[in-house]
Amino acid sequence: MQTIRQLKPLRKAIAGLRADGGKVAFVPTMGALHVGHMALVAEARKRAPHVVASIFVNPKQFGPNEDLAAYPRRAAKDSAMLSEAGVSVLWMPEVEVMYPTGHATNVSVAGVSEGLDGAARAGHFDGVATVVAKLFNQVRPDIALFGEKDFQQLAVIRRMVADLDFGIEIVGVPTEREEDGLALSSRNVYLSEEERVQARSLPRALGAAAATIEGGGDVAEALAKAEASLLEGGFQSVDYVALCDAATLQPVTALTAPARLLAAARIGKARLIDNVAVTPRDETRKGPLAR
């Protein structure tokens, strides 16, 4: 695996991969890799002969009171994991390379970015869209893979790619979970042992609400019960619990089309997010990871 930190060598390496023939699949990350990231790499290897990964902790997507300085960084371990997984190129630029002096362009995606985390974290998705647009222009992949755990992020990227004619296939990969259902996340390392036990109330609350809604229960009551369950389960606060259209992320009050139940809540030093699919009765369930 080549580890590259400057743009010219990156483009030379990508050209070399393409000279060998076949597509290039791209897995962008912020490091602190776990099984969920490795699932993205594994899926990328199924879809293309060459896999490029990136590690870049993007300052533009962190708010002034968020955890940029504390965000876990472990480049050596992450690099070893990617190399063992068969990644061809690791793109790991410094901030000065990604945002050189004079950088003045930001990408903003309206609509899908405006509620949920977009409302709770002002400017977050502008930072996400800007860095992903730059990464796409730097790596120029045929396919890019993102986890469904960050479902709103995935929707923002899909909208941006369609609107700006990137010509990249965007693949959403189902969320990897612990045995008790907790979604794998780099921020789980912030949890104490007690908080880790309490955190399992998040997937349980979402699963119960989804079952209620799919069974014809009142949406507003199901959402309120899920929020109460989180607070009773140990979370200090809930940013949102919402049922949204799976494509547009617009809030819905009745289940008439495929939807997504999304939540964000704070426990200790961590802000955890999660989501599950919610499917109308006449839709065919596509297996356990659809939930």
124 as an active site residue: the answer is no
What angle do the packed helices 7-19 and 124-139 form, to 10 degrees?
A: 50
* Catalytic residue (choose from 37, 50, 103, 124): 37
C-alpha 232/C-alpha 200 separation (Å) is 12
C-alpha 75/C-alpha 62 separation (Å) is 20
What positions carry a catalytic annotation? 37
